[in-house]
Structure 1
Amino acid sequence: MQTNFTAEQLSDPHVAASEKILRKCVHCGFCTATCPTYVTLGNELDSPRGRIYLIKDMLENGRSADARLVTHIDRCLSCLACVTTCPSGVDYMHLVDHARAHIEKTYKRPFMNRFTRAILAAVLPYPGRFRLALKLAKLARPLQGLMRAPALKPFAAMLALAPKQIPAPSPFSMPGTYAARAQKRGRVAILTGCAQPVLDPAINEAAIRLLTRLGIEVVAPAGEVCCGSLVHHMGREGQALASARANVDVWTREIEKGGLDAIIITASGCGTTIKDYGHMLRLDPAYAQKAAGVAALAKDITEFLASLDLPANAPKGLTVTYHSACSMQHGQRITMAPKQLLKAAGFTVRDPAEGHLCCGSAGTYNIMQPDISAALKVRKVKNLEATKPDVIATGNIGCITQIATGTAIPILHTVELLDWAYGGDIPQKLRGFPLS
């Protein structure tokens, strides 16, 4: 793609980086076939290629974002299926990140939109606030049917997604060190997270139990905060970078204290962001090197377990359909390890049709874009149920929450099934459930 930026514009390192990305696009349109919003809406401007044109026009002309552009950028899930598909290597992820930050700086959203986004940014990254919000949601659920006005749809979506039962706080969500229960073979830190320990603390519990049984010492460091992905995708770059710096400091201290073989992440959406810390903080001389080191250590739990050569188990007679979260398959390019681990653990593993398409969760997307999200969920659930599984497995809490509202089939994190297969108790979600 030909660009016409001025030398003055290119003196801004963010603009210069986006210009290089834009120049790689050759208008081939391969991305449209795998873009969930284009497949759903059929609008060229709701495809990666269309959004690239809009972003180029905005940046090249040095103008503020307008309502038309914001509408189409907001509809992007950041699923990154287009990045996997693109034959030219267009770095769409960093381009749309820059566009969102530019929107946040130059565009004044309608009041209710600003209000909703401010609430999400002030609540979701903080476990205590999030837990309180979920308790309030239980009280407000009878009002859901009254929230039909477009500006109120996000609040109706919040109530629909809120669990009926909020799990009790887990001691595994507190800072601490968990000693290896077999001959020690490594030391890792684990990301506690923000939304996940509130919605489903059993995930990190399973990860810690399994790792320690395998001889891995696990530390949950004090001072860790949200990874920053939720606000990062809202264009709130200052808040996202503050979170990144805080976590880099925490994990660097652990590296210096006792060394780390990996930083384990059990929410793939967080993993994609943490692995990008080196890029996010590349212009900060105090953090660039440390952030790159942290990013290099970041590993999804299945990525790390695959390096431990777990033994093969006898068949369990249980069929698991694996839903590959977008942040796992497109963001981190981890596609085979989770399925191979499940097969080795004794499960029969199936793949759904259209596995490359997003389920519609995408951080806060199922709240801010509930209609598109609902259409994608219906499509995803239909494909998952068509495989007739006993259980659905995935690696991201957002996908678990989203898909669980559309099917009665139990959906668990992959590590919960692996913990069970290698000596742990049966997951709570499967107790008393009829399994083949």
Structure 2
Amino acid sequence: MQTQLAPEYKNTPHGKEAEAILRKCVHCGFCTATCPTYQTLGDELDGPRGRIYLIKQVLEGKEPTRATQEHLDRCLTCRNCESTCPSGVQYGHLLDIGRQVVDEKVPRSTGERLKRWALKEGITSPLFAPAMKLGQSVRGLLPESLQAKVPPKSEHGAWPTREHARKVLLLAGCVQPAMLPNINYATARVLDAAGIQTVIAGNAGCCGAVKFHLNDQDGGRVQMRANIDAWWPMVSSGQVEAIIMNASGCSAMVKDYAHALKDDAQYAEKASRISAIARDVCELLPAMLPELAEKLQGRVNIQGKLAYHPPCTLQHAQKLRGGVERDLGKLGFRMLTSRTESHLCCGSAGTYSILQPELSKTLKARKLAALHEACGNEEPAMILSSNVGCITHLQSGTGVPVKHWIEALDEALQGSAGR
């Protein structure tokens, strides 16, 4: 795709990056076939190809409008289009640039600015945990829309105390410890069963994704640098072999630190090292299979079919598709995914379910229907996923328990140990 950037962008870092991405696009339209918002709305401008043209026009000097901003806002950033694109267009990075440029030129309403500010500051604040605790205590009195965002209080069991020579750092996350604390505890127990010790750096916080994708890119980078500082002593000394995340949105973001901080003279090299050793927890699973299989002894005490939803940040951003289903299947789990719609977003997409509630609900209903269809239109015993946002979003639309796959594996290991 030929481009003629406006002088204000031509020689800037963002302009150069955007131009390189735009030149890869051949306007083939394959991306529209797998775009959830295009499939739902049927508008070319609500698909990747249309949004690429909108961004191109703005970078070439055309004044953006509120409609331009809305079309970019409606993108889920699921990056399904990147999995489909035969030319390797890095749409996600282009969208980050486009949103920032458009927001600088198109003022948002006071109400919209307040909502976005509350999300990016509130979700990542130390006050989120006490606020969630308060919400859980009065959950039955909350309106249905708020109840969907406040999961019931749950128990998390004990953290393993054994020391192991092999150690990994775990990013606890910003919302997960308060909303679904058992995911981190289950992760530590499963790794412990395979002879790996899980360590958490107390000063590490949000991965930066919430602020970055709400167009506070500078604020997101501040959080990235803080995490690097928290992890660096153990990373540089070789005390840990990897930094792991059990929320695929976080693992996708940490793997992108090298790109986000590439122009930061002080942090670029460190960010590159951090991204190089960042792993989604599912990437550790293949090597753990022999020890886990020995402990389970082929006896997985979960009756019924398990429907699995692979998050977009796992299968499209990280290109980790099919591994969880394959590896859990080897351990005896009956894992099923939709044959036709497993690639589509569930509608959670970070803060998308709050900012675009109607589109989000439509995508959630479609995803749940596809998961039931995968189980032969039977009600699955459990729905599993790999990201806290997907889990809480899907749970609000079904009475079937929705959990992280590592929680199901932890339950199976604990059941096996008790026999």
Alignment TM-score, normalising by the size of structure 1? 0.87
Query: Is 1:342 aligned to residue 328 of structure 2?
Result: yes
Query: Is 1:399 aligned to residue 394 of structure 2?
Result: no
Contact map agreement 2:58 2:102 (CA 8 A) in 1? no
**SS of 1:218's equivalent?**
strand
Deviations 1:155-177 (A, max 9, x none): x84x14223523479886xxxxx
Match of 1:370 among 348, 357, 363: 357
- Going from structure 1 to structure 2, the CA distance change for 1:137 and 1:408 (only over 3 Å counts) comes to closer
Query: Number of residue pairs matched?
Result: 406
Partner amino acid, structure 1, of 2:399: A
Following superposition, the deviation at residue 90 of structure 1 comes to 0.5
Farther-moved stretch of structure 1 (301-310 vs 405-414): 301-310
Query: Is 1:238 aligned to residue 213 of structure 2?
Result: no
Q: Where do 5+ consecutive residues of structure 1 fail to align? A: 145-155, 173-177, 427-436
Contact map agreement 2:82 2:88 (CA 8 A) in 1? yes
Contact map agreement 2:139 2:150 (CA 8 A) in 1? no
Match of 1:383 among 357, 363, 370: 370
Q: Please give the alpha-carbon distance, in whole angstroms, between the structure 2 residues aligned to 1:10 and 1:417.
A: 51
Give 1:150's aligned residue.
Answer: none
- Going from structure 1 to structure 2, the CA distance change for 1:411 and 1:372 (only over 3 Å counts) comes to same
Contact map agreement 2:128 2:175 (CA 8 A) in 1? no
Q: Please give the alpha-carbon distance, in whole angstroms, between the structure 1 residues aligned to 2:136 and 2:189.
A: 32
- Going from structure 1 to structure 2, the CA distance change for 1:285 and 1:171 (only over 3 Å counts) comes to farther
Contact map agreement 2:136 2:152 (CA 8 A) in 1? no
Give 1:59's aligned residue.
Answer: 59
- Going from structure 1 to structure 2, the CA distance change for 1:336 and 1:410 (only over 3 Å counts) comes to same
Q: Please give the alpha-carbon distance, in whole angstroms, between the structure 2 residues aligned to 1:109 and 1:8.
A: 22
Following superposition, the deviation at residue 104 of structure 1 comes to 3.6
Match of 2:181 among 201, 214, 238: 201
Give 2:38's aligned residue.
Answer: 38
Partner amino acid, structure 2, of 1:59: L
Q: Where do 5+ consecutive residues of structure 2 fail to align? A: none
Deviations 1:332-376 (A, max 9, x none): 111122112211221111112401110000000000000000000
- Going from structure 1 to structure 2, the CA distance change for 1:240 and 1:213 (only over 3 Å counts) comes to same
Give 2:27's aligned residue.
Answer: 27
- Going from structure 1 to structure 2, the CA distance change for 1:170 and 1:276 (only over 3 Å counts) comes to farther
Q: Please give the alpha-carbon distance, in whole angstroms, between the structure 2 residues aligned to 1:41 and 1:425.
A: 48
Query: Is 1:294 aligned to residue 274 of structure 2?
Result: yes
Give 1:354's aligned residue.
Answer: 341
Give 2:2's aligned residue.
Answer: 2
Partner amino acid, structure 1, of 2:361: A
Contact map agreement 2:305 2:336 (CA 8 A) in 1? yes
- Going from structure 1 to structure 2, the CA distance change for 1:215 and 1:168 (only over 3 Å counts) comes to closer
Query: Is 1:322 aligned to residue 274 of structure 2?
Result: no
Deviations 1:149-206 (A, max 9, x none): xxxxxxx84x14223523479886xxxxx6545xx35110001101111110000000
- Going from structure 1 to structure 2, the CA distance change for 1:247 and 1:135 (only over 3 Å counts) comes to same
Identity between Structure 1 and Structure 2 (%): 39
Give 2:120's aligned residue.
Answer: 121
Q: Please give the alpha-carbon distance, in whole angstroms, between the structure 1 residues aligned to 2:205 and 2:260.
A: 16
- Going from structure 1 to structure 2, the CA distance change for 1:8 and 1:363 (only over 3 Å counts) comes to closer
